[in-house]
Amino acid sequence: MRVALEPIVTADFYHLEEWRLARGAARKNRTSIYSWKTSGRANWLERGYSCVDCLGLVELPQGLPDEIPMLDDGPA
């Protein structure tokens, strides 16, 4: 699934069970895989694979920071 992470880039999103597909795409495209982390209402991207508090995996260009803050969820 393609998602827009404004204003950074357009990225591919993978469900956790698609980690092999994500890894293959990252190797082929020379990109990095980030774990989309969530805790409470907070959201951020963390370089690498991790299934703890993880919503899914995102393929992004190399050279970005190890942790990328994202917008937090609004009030319920």
| Reported pTM | 0.82
pLDDT, one tens digit per residue, over 23-42 is 999 999 999 999 999 988 88
Ramachandran bin of 47, using left for φ above 0, alpha for ψ from -120 to 50, beta for the remaining angles: beta
Cβ within 8 Å of residue 15, ≥6 positions away: 56, 57
The domains of the chain are located at 2-69
pLDDT, one tens digit per residue, over 36-76 is 999 888 889 999 998 788 899 999 999 889 998 887 777 76
- Side-chain-side CA neighbours of residue 35 (13 Å): 15
Instruction: Decide: helix, strand or coil at residue 56.
Output: strand
pLDDT of residue 4: 52
pLDDT of residue 76: 63
């795409």: which residue's tokens? 25
